[in-house]
Structure 1
Amino acid sequence: MTPGTTSIASSSKFATVLRVTGGNFMEMFDFFLFGFYATQISKAFFPTGNEFASLMLTFMTFGAGFLMRPLGAIFLGAYVDRVGRRKGLIVTLALMAVGTLLIACVPGYATIGLAAPVLVLIGRLLQGFSAGVELGGVSVYLSEMATPGHKGFYVAWQSASQQVAIVVAAALGYWLNVTFTQVEVTDFYWRIPFFVGCLIVPVLFFLRRSLQETEEFMARKHRPDAREIFQSMVANWRLVVAGMMLVSMTTVSFYLITVYTPTFGKAVLHLSTTDALIVTLCVAISNFIWLPVMGAVSDRVGRKPLLIIFTVLAIFTAYPSLKWLVGSPSFIHMLEVELWLSFLYASYNGAMVVALTEVMPVNVRTAGFSLAYSLATAIFGGFTPAIATGLIEMTGDKGAPGLWMTAAAMCGLIATLVLYRRQAPRPYGVPA
């Protein structure tokens, strides 16, 4: 291959990564907005007269979207494994757009009564059904188009694109808080980021439609139907459960340091909304840097060492870090703790996502990945804001969310030891 050909190929790979993760960025942007603006949403749709009850109802609705993820993983995952990565990613985007538009446009409880929270719940369920296969579809696409020996680096951009979504969401939140009063934001202007997401959807459809199918998928002679995929999932249930436990560390730590951070900063530490959003912004930037770096490191040293090291670090430092923070709350202390947890999350996730694509059977890779990831998110991660809020209320310990992350890290460590227990050391430069 000539230098010119190499340059063109590299440029083509870069453009492909941008197209596939561009859609993933917006899907996750719309999905996470609900968590970022939980306080405003609770007042608009769940006005119980009790701040804790309203916030819990909001986080339970947020979590309900994750309960739909396993269904999306099974049905949409089977569709993607059957008809192709490109077509499946277009379908997931359409479903996410409908859910986001619904949440953005529904009048508040004061206007239409109980219909308001019901319609918001439907919007969340649509988002969850779509997201059930979005992460798996994008991750598998990136793993199949990656150059040999660089799968970790390529797949890490799926998670990195989510961090860009968080940066944009946090930046919009910061702009709203410095431009409008808290009353104005609560009354209406929290909806602006949702409208922004809706307006960009046509661009995303263009990006997704321009994607080419992966060569690995096109070369596959047998493409299983839904029945075969379901049978494979049942036959490989132990692998799916181990994969779910592997993801638990990622999904709990991610939602703890991103979606829950604005609420934790305001409601628990009593910091300003602006301070909490700036910390969230910094965490997203930190994640964006560390994810591809640690994905590339996992290409060199293997997935297993990174998975073990960072689950152990999380087990021993998550709760003490948060306990120290709540004992001496300040913007600087919150930033320091959140950046440390960000380092743990991104370093683990940089190796974990590509590892999950590698342990799944090739012919049902999207469905298997998506089901394991969705189950972890539904059981562990999606309800992290609600669980964190409930733990603080029940125990009176403001650092209790750290215990939830510790438990998830223990699940990740056990899963790593189980999945890699029979694997011999691999040659240098060969992905684990």
Structure 2
Amino acid sequence: MDKSQSKAIKDAKSIFRVASGNFLEMYDFAVYGFYASFIAQVFFPSSSQFASIMMSFMAFGVGFLMRPVGAIILGGYMDKHGRRKGLLITLSLMAVGTLTIAVCPGYEQIGILAPVIVVIGRLLQGFSAGAEIGGASVYLAEIAPADKKGFYVSWQSASQQVATIAAGIFGVVLHYYLGDQIVSEWGWRIPFIFGCLVVPFLFIIRRTLEETPEFKARAHQAPKKLSAMLKNMVENWQVVVLGSLFVMMTTVTFYFITAYTPTFANRVLHLSRLDSFIVTAIVGLSNLFWLPVAGALSDKIGRKPILMVITFLNLISAYPMMYFLVHHISFTNLVIVELWFSFIFGSYNGAMVVGLSEIMPPQVRALGFSLSYSIAVAIFGGFTPAISTYLIHTTGNSAMPGIWLSIAALCSLLASWTLFRKGGVYHRRKESEY
């Protein structure tokens, strides 16, 4: 076996170790979104179904507000102490947050403490996730060969799709064998408990990670204090702002086609819960296909062509696709529309994530990536289910989430053009670093 084959095998093992831990981050968020209507009944009871679901989605969204805090603290920790140590911490915190929600008694048992505990669990999950995606993406970017960075980094998002598939399959099995009544009473807790049970295995797998050679080579250059890291970020504030807009489309689209789909399909389209979970599992499989394909393609033709084309396609198609769906409601049409948005998400994200890692200052790469990504999720993506529910409720137009998707596409289109134009941040960083 030659050196190139040996490195490929070693890198494949590292990708698996990173992705396996990243699986839990998305699994926990997906499960909460999938069971939001049941969580609303148990922890946020109200005489108004709209108010109850909105409170559940707001609790879902509030977890994302902790992401920038987690990005600063844990992202800074990774830049100072290493990617490996930071990824072990994020995994542990995510597990605690999930367990908190899984075992919390309902509102009928402990009153106002129930929603308070659930929100605390969501805050812990959000704090952890603030650096998980950034840490995993940066780790993969730093171990990848120069001509395969897009393909390597795409597996960070691909692992999240495995989580979406697993959560979707859980939903199908639970509703098929237990029925809606039992799932609404206590069965929804089973997927959360499963997430807790796999943590020890994921922790053992992730402990075997080696630190990246690039971090070791630059460790002496990294700012030693968090204040110095934040100063570096302030000096590069334009990159952080543009990076957040750059991420906007991927996070809005993703949480629409995963976390919001079960509620939208059941409450708005009046399809069965079983149908909605089947669609979600299909979407996860589609995402899993498109992400590495787009990542590899971006290594061949560059990031910019993919980013510009896909954002434009979403800009002009999001509302028409939603309009078609709500006026021609069927399981088949829901699958068609969701697969289109899956293609949009997977194609864009496959090129976007590696691009985001490449525009960040090397000394604070984990912090910069995590902060930009977390701001985008906190402001835009995490509240997509709540925003979509509100738009439909206030306008009476079930296709209105398409407008929100188009707004996100426009922001990311402009950010992509600015970052990747000739002489832009991407080109300057590539010329100075590579």
Paired residue for 1:66?
A: 64
* Equivalent of 2:48 in 42, 47, 50: 50
In the TM superposition, what whole-angstrom CA distance separates every residue of 1:254-274 from its partner, at most 9, and x where no partner exists? 001111110110000000111
Pair 1:189 & 2:182 matched: no
Structure-to-structure mapping, 1:193-342, within 5 angstroms: 193-220=191-218, 221-225=220-224, 226-342=226-342
Task: Give the letter for the 2:337 counterpart.
Answer: V
Paired residue for 2:168?
A: 170
* Equivalent of 1:21 in 16, 19, 22: 19
Shift of 1:181: 2.1
Task: Give the letter for the 1:25 counterpart.
Answer: F
**Matches of 2:360 and 2:120, distance apart in 1:** 31
Task: Give the letter for the 2:172 counterpart.
Answer: Y
Identity fraction in percent: 54
In the TM superposition, what whole-angstrom CA distance separates every residue of 1:136-156 from its partner, at most 9, and x where no partner exists? 000000000001200000000
* Equivalent of 1:132 in 124, 127, 130: 130
Task: Give the letter for the 2:338 counterpart.
Answer: E
Task: Give the letter for the 1:342 counterpart.
Answer: S
3-state SS of 2:221 partner = coil
**Matches of 1:415 and 1:354, distance apart in 2:** 15
Shift of 1:26: 1.4
Structure 1: give runs of 5+ residues left out of the alignment. none
Shift of 1:31: 2.2
Task: Give the letter for the 2:43 counterpart.
Answer: F
**Matches of 1:181 and 1:149, distance apart in 2:** 50
Task: Give the letter for the 2:221 counterpart.
Answer: H
In the TM superposition, what whole-angstrom CA distance separates every residue of 1:113-157 from its partner, at most 9, and x where no partner exists? 000000000000000000000000000000000012000000000
**Matches of 1:182 and 1:257, distance apart in 2:** 22
Shift of 1:4: 3.3
Q: Cα RMSD over matched residues? A: 1.4
In the TM superposition, what whole-angstrom CA distance separates every residue of 1:42-101 from its partner, at most 9, and x where no partner exists? 000001121110000000000000000000001111111000000000011111111000
In the TM superposition, what whole-angstrom CA distance separates every residue of 1:195-243 from its partner, at most 9, and x where no partner exists? 0000011011101110000000011132212111100111111110000
In the TM superposition, what whole-angstrom CA distance separates every residue of 1:279-302 from its partner, at most 9, and x where no partner exists? 111111000000000000000111
**Matches of 1:131 and 1:118, distance apart in 2:** 20
TM (normalized to structure 1)?
A: 0.97
Structure 2: give runs of 5+ residues left out of the alignment. none
Equivalent pairs, count: 427
Task: Give the letter for the 2:55 counterpart.
Answer: L
After TM superposition, the runs of 4+ consecutive aligned structure 1 residues lying more than 4 A away are: none
Task: Give the letter for the 1:223 counterpart.
Answer: A
**Matches of 2:340 and 2:280, distance apart in 1:** 13
TM (normalized to structure 2)?
A: 0.97
**Matches of 1:144 and 1:346, distance apart in 2:** 22
**Matches of 2:302 and 2:378, distance apart in 1:** 28
Shift of 1:30: 1.5
**Matches of 1:113 and 1:93, distance apart in 2:** 30
Paired residue for 1:373?
A: 373
Shift of 1:368: 0.3
